[in-house]
Structure 1
Amino acid sequence: MTETTASRSTTGAVSPVDQRLPLLQLLLVGFQHVLLMYGGAVAVPLIVGQAAGLSREEIAFLINADLLVAGIATLIQSLGIGPVGIRMPVMMGASFAAVGSMVAMTGMPGVGMQGIFGATIAAGFFGMLIAPFMSRIVRFFPPLVTGTVITSIGMCLFPVAINWAGGGKGEANFGAPEFLALSSLVLIVILLINRFLKGFWVNISVLIGMGLGYAIAACVGMVDLGGMEQRPWFEVVTPMHFGPPEFHLAPVLAMCLVVVIIFVESTGMFLALGKLTDTEITPKRLRGGLLCDAGASFIAGFLNTFTHSSFAQNIGLVQMTGVRSRYVTVAAALFLIALSLLPKAAFLVASIPPAVLGGAGLAMFGMVAASGIRILQEADIGDRRNQLLVAVSIGMGMVPVVRPDFFAHLPHWLEPITHSGIAMTAIWAIALNLLFNIIGENRSHLCGSHGH
């Protein structure tokens, strides 16, 4: 089936993906996509910025840079430019998969933000090189491996949420009742919305919880907006704001591994979206989507932000609303680009108290882990060897989370891998899957051919 026939439905009418909607509906549904992914999009620069000890002004700049790249990448993914872009309703944003590795890099001597951006550029370039061959690599990433890794991503981020909930890392009054009450309130609001409301409200439950928590924190004097007057109303993101990117071997290798994980996640998401929109995901379409993921990461490093990927929660929104047009995500992309030019809006987001983020973080990171467990259900988890693979991979991933000094005596250049629970889980899951399922499978094939 050719690309043109693939984009037509069986009746010969225009595919739902190519439908043009009335302007008001287009803008409203587009803005809904922005609301849904905004919390996730700004969480990555918030986590990395705080771990790197950046000022609120610098974190606000990181958020603006992230929104700009997310907007550009979403536009290219939805509309397509030449061979790049899947031309479907896909929202892009900074990927959680890289957070563990990047937080580890902030603690490495001589790496800093410039080293993180250098690793992001190198990983994006690596992604563009391997995108055409990804269909061959996918067999090393069955649901057993990807489910284990995604579960680990959620689990490795829990300490971040718990630190936030207690008032923030380094907070002298950590665990004070007011911090615990605020984070609990945000979490309870999210849970109640998911229990008693439906549809759109459920999709923006995290945003509502954080908004209410922020309002209460502001009323009791827990929000500090000092310095906001100095922020301009309008500002264009400048490339290499933190200095020229630097390239260090271990961070680059760790981020290249992250890009492979992102590719596997995105492939699964694109296939799911194809089913929802009655669109055949041809190898050409898949390659275009993965090239956009990698290209966005490559550009991101120059524009002061991080590896980008497709956002799964927005695919859920496509399913819920039934609006399958890619022009909806084009509208959403334009909203993101507009927001990136408004530093005061980003400063407001950067001033959210850690305790508010903590309540939302527990729910958000828990959902990441839960989606990994859901993917694991597609694997033969009744097989004892597969259970052992999940157990050992996640166990090894927890080592740097529970005891960050566990590998302290190993060479420093290994730190982005040994300090990242996600990278550790991925390496062990791939290796054990090779040992248990692929090498043995090939050997039994050989035995079978000798028998004939």
Structure 2
Amino acid sequence: MTNPQVADVPCHPVDEKLPARKLIPSALQHIAAMYSGVVAAPLVIGPTVGLSAGNQVLLISVSLFIAGLCTLTQTLGVGKVLGNRLPFVNAAASGGIAPLLAIGQNTAKGHELQTMLGSLLVAGAVCLVIGPFFGKLMRFFPHLVTGVVITLIGVSLMPVPVRWAQGGAGAENFGSTSNLALAAFTLVIIVAMQRLFTGFLRQISLILGMVIGTLAAVPFGMLNTKTFESAPLVSIPTPFHFGMPEFQIAGIISMTIMMLVLMTESAAGMLAVGEICDRPVDGRTISSGLRIDGLGTMIGSLFGGFAISAFAQNIGVVSLTKVRSRFVVATAGAVLLVLGVFPVLGAVVSLVPMPVLGGAGLVLFGTIAISGVRTLSRAHLDEGANIVIAAVSLGVGLIPLAAPEVVANGKVVQPGIYHAFPDWAQTILGTGICAGAITAVLLNIAFNHLGKKKPQEQPEPEARPAKPTAPAEPTEAVPAGDPVAGKS
């Protein structure tokens, strides 16, 4: 799909500079594939912590700005230690949402976001420190472990779009038939587009479905335009706008565990991109790429950003289009940077009614769960005790969903299963993701590492890029903006 560079010296496709007529449309494809995933975290976290409409817009703008900055640095590189110089997208991972929600639920009112950002600051620092040595830790995060974690992330997030479909927590008409009908309409539109469209239109079906759902809500007065009144035209993200970071040991542990999972997916994504682009990835490249994850998470937390990781849907775009130029992805990063500087553009996203987000969210978070199932399918479940490890880990992780806290008329009528535990334990165990991840790691070590010279799944991280089908698999998740398939 790429044309030879107009030069006497041949150029590797990764370093090829395409003409504008190809560069811009190719960059827009990446924007379309990633946009929903980039704004997913602020769209979920903002209403949960009770942000005003204006601050919600700014939170979206920060997410776009940090994603653009990280993607530009990743693709173009800085010196010899920052950036993998591959067509690789870095942005806020949806995988980090669930543990952040758990932190918020176990934090004093009014301090939720600050505690989340403090946990992210420390987790990002840990990522930055252990990044150069992470290759030695990857053997403890094989497909068996990451598959369990990704599946739990998708399943644990499902209550969020269900609440959106009902109108959002606190809505006067919560659970009304009109809200549910609009959510169902949006879902049907997205599914129909997936069935009828191909190529670029299919890739952006999630966004198109949200646009159509929003337009359908206009005649019924379900559109909230007040956000524009508080959205500035231009605003440069400023540090500590949402308050100084606050630190909670349980939240730090929770996000550090999640960051290790995100790092594993980023490393696997780099291996896949290197294979797709015929540019083998070595340990130095992975270390340089993971430094962006750590720095992006640290710096982003000061402004209101979230955990940074790879976006697998963009790996799928590279595989599908065969356009391997890193400058295409860098251009997409520059566009995200511009979108982040103009909050009024972020206000457009906040116009989308909650039920429309609910219909789209079922696809978005459902795709995350399916990505985990797909990863588990490569975990050799028929070997040894792998199926038991997966079953027990998933079971432990699903406990909070099976016995949740039930609130009626503002009163807790049924406490959650961990209500008698200390606050720090409730934060770690609350969503089940961290509990499931810890269980999977420990059981995998016990069964596949201790006392064995050749662990059953230890070679898997190195073998991933050798599988001819692996690079193409993320393309299935493109429309849903799933950052987790190659994670978050």
Coarse TM-score class (shorter-chain normalised): over 0.9
C-alpha deviation, 1:92, in angstroms: 1.5
For residue 187 of structure 2, what is the amino acid of its counterpart? L
Matched, 1:294 2:284: no
Greater Cα offset, 192-201 or 104-113: 104-113
SS in structure 1 of the partner of residue 91 of structure 2? strand
Shift in CA distance, 197/437, structure 1 to aligned 2, threshold 3 Å: same
Structure 2 counterparts to residues 11-160 of structure 1, below 5 A: 13-82=10-79, 83-110=81-108, 111-160=111-160
Q: Deviations over 1:280-310 (max 9, x none)?
A: 0011111111111111101111111111111
Greater Cα offset, 387-396 or 255-264: 387-396
Structure 2 counterparts to residues 16-415 of structure 1, below 5 A: 16-82=13-79, 83-110=81-108, 111-383=111-383, 385-402=385-402, 403-404=404-405, 405-415=416-426
Alpha-carbon distance in 2 for matches of 1:163, 1:21: 44
For residue 35 of structure 1, what is the amino acid of its counterpart? A
Judge conservation of contact 1:165–1:357 (CA < 8 Å) in 2.
yes
C-alpha deviation, 1:170, in angstroms: 2.8
Alpha-carbon distance in 1 for matches of 2:115, 2:279: 40
TM-score by length of 2: 0.86
Shift in CA distance, 221/444, structure 1 to aligned 2, threshold 3 Å: closer
Judge conservation of contact 1:119–1:248 (CA < 8 Å) in 2.
yes
Judge conservation of contact 1:225–1:348 (CA < 8 Å) in 2.
no
**Structure 1 portions without partners, runs of 5+:** 1-11, 446-452
- Which has the larger share of helix? 1
| Alignment RMSD (CA, Å) | 1.7
TM-score by length of 1: 0.93
Judge conservation of contact 2:165–2:355 (CA < 8 Å) in 1.
yes
Judge conservation of contact 1:102–1:416 (CA < 8 Å) in 2.
no
C-alpha deviation, 1:270, in angstroms: 1.0
SS in structure 2 of the partner of residue 229 of structure 1? helix
Greater Cα offset, 383-392 or 234-243: 383-392
Alpha-carbon distance in 1 for matches of 2:222, 2:289: 43
| Residue aligning to 1:438 | 449
Greater Cα offset, 401-410 or 335-344: 401-410
Number of positions where the alignment pairs a residue of Structure 1 with one of Structure 2? 434
C-alpha deviation, 1:132, in angstroms: 0.8
Judge conservation of contact 2:184–2:359 (CA < 8 Å) in 1.
yes
Judge conservation of contact 1:237–1:303 (CA < 8 Å) in 2.
yes
SS in structure 2 of the partner of residue 127 of structure 1? helix
Match among 418, 421, 429 for residue 432 of structure 2: 421
SS in structure 1 of the partner of residue 229 of structure 2? coil
Alpha-carbon distance in 2 for matches of 1:423, 1:97: 11
For residue 40 of structure 1, what is the amino acid of its counterpart? G
SS in structure 1 of the partner of residue 450 of structure 2? helix
C-alpha deviation, 1:444, in angstroms: 9.6
C-alpha deviation, 1:138, in angstroms: 0.5
Shift in CA distance, 81/384, structure 1 to aligned 2, threshold 3 Å: same
Greater Cα offset, 428-437 or 125-134: 428-437
